[in-house]
Amino acid sequence: MLRWILFFLLTIPAINLRAEDGYRVWLRFEKISDEPLLKNYRDAISCLQINPVSATLKAAREELTSALQTLLDKKITATTAIADKCIIAGTPASSGTIKQLLAAHNYQLGQDGYTIQAITLNGKRLTVIAAYTDIGVLYGSFAFLRLLQTHQPIAALSIISVPKIQYRILDHWDNLNRSVERGYAGISIWNWHQLPDYIDKRYIDYARYNASIGINGSVLTNVNANSLVLTKEYLIKVKALADVFRIYGIKVYLTAKFSAPIEIGGLETADPLDTTVQNWWKKKCDEIYTLIPDFGGLLIKANSEGQPGPQTYGRTHAEGANMFADALAPHNGIVMWRAFVYDARVQKKEEKFEEGKQGEHSETIASGDRFKKAYNEFKSLDGKFRGNVLVQVKNGPIDFQPREPFSPLFGAMPQTPLMMEFQLTQEYLGQGTHLVYEAPLFKEVLDADTYAEGKGSIVAKVIDGSLDHHSITGIAGVANIGNDIDWTGHPFGQANWYAFGRLAWDYTLSSGDIATEWIRQTFTNNKFFVESTKKIMMASREAAVDYMTPLGLHHIMGTSHHYGPAPWIDNAGRADWNPVYYHRADADGLGFNRTITGSNALAQYQPQAQQQWSDSNTCDEKFLLWFHHVSWAHTMKNGKLFWDELCTKYQQGVDSARWMQQQWNTSKPFIDEEQFNQVNMLLTIQRKEAEWWKNACLLYFQTFSKMPFPPNVEKPAKTLEYYKQLKFIYAPGIGGNL
Ligand code: BDP
């Protein structure tokens, strides 16, 4: 009997007992499935020489050793001597060979860059991963593993890679009670209660994953800040995280609440020009740096959505930011000062704006368009910020909508380093359940031409400092990470995290190539699967725009939780929280007139940039309703009536969502069943919600257009009243601070 059991156990094929749960994200390092390629890699790699003189180099060694072992299914020996077929990784300080090599070639690698070279030295075939810094070596090691995981040839490698942007940061909107504002993947991964003594393995994996895509900073807390994080009790916890992240080149940052000197410092004011306040922040920063010598700096949301700020004391954003800058400068810390502003003072004008008539170009209207707020408040402050301040600007003028024109600030503050803020978490893109690949959205903005210094002054060149010769540069992504087993809730949310890191490193990479890389590492290198999944990803953002907000519609989702369509809402707390404020549907037509006959927000752009949008007949139709109130009978470029085109776009969005699911169904044989099913269920939700968006929006807009649906558009399943009465009081994503 025992013999039979043994026989049975030994002969059953290796079964993957643990289903793929997504925890390992794109760093799975499964055995190379392509036999000839596996042989080829095995022939080329047999040992690893890396002198672990620092914790970071030790991490690089561990990463390479364990990944190579599983990828190649072969023991890789660590050597101190240089042998044939060795990978040699290190810096001039850790390796004599690398010192010679770098000296001979004079590679320009900067602080974070690396080179990977396949060379022959004294008759030995070697793969060299070299950098001037330890973190560069770690980045190079991950890049090399990426090549293997994506089945690339390695025999003739000659790569030099240097990041284009210096600060590549994830912003967590995580609260101290572990709720996550706009988070759809569980609660916060920071377990403040257990810190500092309990170091969750997830902290290490978080750092590894980020390092593998070049992210080098993490803002741990919500922009709607809680002063408590700046108390000693919490700073000790922050230090514990910093100690873990440091090894992987990740600096920690915190959000600072402007009123902290009052709330936790016992002062009576937080006025930035008051010396007691200034001294309080200086002491606070000294305290932070005593605990965390490489602390990154502070991110501040001020005078926006109820947050206190310098304007509370009659001071400017620059005066506020500079107070922090002065406190951080002795420690080489930076200030990230957000330009996402619309404060209470401005609100009164907005109320007047509601009373004003469209087309009446008065000062009230001019200042009432929320589109114009950031520019109006910041433009005049250009050149007034200290050298260690970055002004962090959201990609668009309103708020992370499925499609926005680029923020006009990007072409307007040449003397100030501007930092890009993207949102990875899908607050306005189907939240936790829609597959929306965001790289095309990021690229669309980065590639947009501001014309600030003539043609070719693209947003990316503003951000990377090359346009205006800035030496500090940054880009931030609002994280989509939570404590769900797969980190992002939706398995494809990981692609947005990945793409953000890759583009922060090199914005010239294409969305398609990044998708391909990610799919190969995350799922499989199977050609059919890769191509088919890439098609889904590449179509997904446009699909979401079409079924939610086509032709330049924006901000028409449910109030507060921002879930689902609610273009009819007109009773939210302030004018510019209401969808009706943004779409302006009436008997004549639809859209927000931001031309000279309306709010004239267009004037915030350079003349050449304005031109592409200023005339409703020539305007790029993707942005039509951002800038024009067009009549229902307006003739589109394809000759259709605007109303018919609007209906058709919504229908196309629904059709695309259906197509995405059909396409996904063809991939069933190629991946883990559980993962296949998981995505399939999510695609069902996405399809249903796409239909819901189309039906609700078209029925509502039809009450103004009074026109029939064109024949190609499916009749809505329910009545407008039905859609209007839907309530979602427990929709996810609303943080504890709201
Ligand atoms: C909006 C979010 C809100 C954030 C705010 C911000 O709805 O939760 O606090 O942006 O960026 O998109 O400050």
* Tens of pLDDT, residues 595-648: 999 999 999 999 999 999 999 999 999 999 999 999 999 999 999 999 999 999
The 10 Å Cβ neighbour count of residue 394 is 23
Pick the closest to residue 173 from 481, 432, 499 (CA basis).
481
Q: Is 427 in the pocket of ligand 1 (CB under 6 A)?
A: yes
One domain, residues 421 and 347: yes
One domain, residues 507 and 563: no
Any domain includes 380: yes
What angle, rounded to 10 degrees, do the helices at 317-328 and 275-291 form?
40
Catalytic positions, please? 305, 399, 427
> Using CA atoms, how far apart are residues 619 and 637, in angstroms rounded to an integer?
10
Any domain includes 8: no
Q: Which of 161, 190, 213 is the last residue of a domain?
A: 161
641 — phi, psi (to 5°)? -70, 145
Please name the amino acid found at residue 464: D
One domain, residues 576 and 519: no
One domain, residues 184 and 79: no
Any domain includes 538: no
Any domain includes 641: yes
One domain, residues 289 and 380: yes
User: The domain that contains 69 carries what CATH number?
Assistant: 3.30.379.10
Task: Find the farthest-apart pair of alpha carbons in the chain and give their distance in angstroms, rounded.
Answer: 93
Whats the size of the chain, residue-wise? 738
User: Residue by residue, what is the 3-state secondary structure of 313-362?
Assistant: HCCCHHHHHHHHHHHHHHHCCEEEEECCCCCHHHHHHHHHHHHCCCCCCC
Rg of the chain's alpha carbons, rounded to an integer?
27
DSSP letter for each residue of 178-199: S-BTT--SSS-S--TTTTTT--
Give the domain range for residue 649. Answer: 550-724
Cα(399) to centroid(ligand 1), Å:
8
Pick the closest to residue 220 from 186, 245, 197, 247 (CA basis).
245
Q: Is 190 in the pocket of ligand 1 (CB under 6 A)?
A: no
Cα(173) to centroid(ligand 1), Å:
9
User: Ligand 1 atom closest to Cα of 562?
Assistant: 7
Pocket test for ligand 1, best of 171, 179, 180, 181 (most atoms within 8 A of CB): 181
Q: How far is CA 435 from CA 156, 390, 494, 665, in A?
A: 37, 32, 10, 14
Which tokens go with 469?
């010769």
Q: Which of 469, 488, 523 is the last residue of a domain?
A: 523
Q: 0.85 exceeded by the pTM?
A: yes
CB 589 within 8 A of CB 631: yes
> Using CA atoms, how far apart are residues 59 and 139, in angstroms rounded to an integer?
11
User: Ligand 1 atom closest to Cα of 735?
Assistant: 8
Q: Is 224 in the pocket of ligand 1 (CB under 6 A)?
A: yes
pLDDT given for residue 446 in this prediction: 98
User: The domain that contains 560 carries what CATH number?
Assistant: 3.90.1330.10
Strand-strand pairing, 86-90 and 418-423: unpaired
Pocket test for ligand 1, best of 175, 179, 182, 426 (most atoms within 8 A of CB): 182
DSSP letter for each residue of 199-216: --HHHHHHHHHHHHTT--
> Using CA atoms, how far apart are residues 149 and 524, in angstroms rounded to an integer?
9
114 — phi, psi (to 5°)? -150, 165
CB 89 within 8 A of CB 130: yes
Cα(559) to centroid(ligand 1), Å:
12
Element (H, E) at 77: strand 77-78
> Using CA atoms, how far apart are residues 60 and 50, in angstroms rounded to an integer?
8
Which position has the token pair 């890049």?
A: 143
The 10 Å Cβ neighbour count of residue 729 is 7
Number of domains in the chain: 3
Pocket test for ligand 1, best of 180, 222, 223 (most atoms within 8 A of CB): 223
Cα(576) to centroid(ligand 1), Å:
13
One domain, residues 218 and 142: no
One domain, residues 180 and 147: no
Q: Which residue has a Cα nearest atom 2 of ligand 1?
A: 182
Cα(39) to centroid(ligand 1), Å:
51
One domain, residues 397 and 321: yes
Any domain includes 733: no
One domain, residues 280 and 232: yes
CB 107 within 8 A of CB 115: yes
> Using CA atoms, how far apart are residues 102 and 129, in angstroms rounded to an integer?
11
Please name the amino acid found at residue 484: D
Please name the amino acid found at residue 194: Q
One domain, residues 277 and 412: yes
Q: Is 301 in the pocket of ligand 1 (CB under 6 A)?
A: yes
One domain, residues 298 and 370: yes
User: Ligand 1 atom closest to Cα of 307?
Assistant: 13
Any domain includes 540: no
Q: Is 399 in the pocket of ligand 1 (CB under 6 A)?
A: yes
CB 116 within 8 A of CB 157: yes
Any domain includes 126: yes
User: The domain that contains 470 carries what CATH number?
Assistant: 3.20.20.80
User: Ligand 1 atom closest to Cα of 222?
Assistant: 9
Cα(338) to centroid(ligand 1), Å:
11
One domain, residues 221 and 315: yes
H helix intervals, 622-672: 624-627, 642-665
> Running along the chain, 738 residues long, what does each successive block of 10 average in pLDDT?
47 54 97 97 96 98 97 92 94 96 94 97 96 98 98 97 98 97 97 98 98 98 98 98 98 98 98 98 98 98 94 97 98 98 54 37 52 96 98 97 98 97 98 98 98 98 98 98 98 99 98 98 97 98 98 96 97 89 98 97 97 97 98 98 98 98 96 95 98 98 98 96 96 66
Q: What are the tens digits of pLDDT across the range 88-100?
A: 999 999 999 999 9
Any domain includes 266: yes
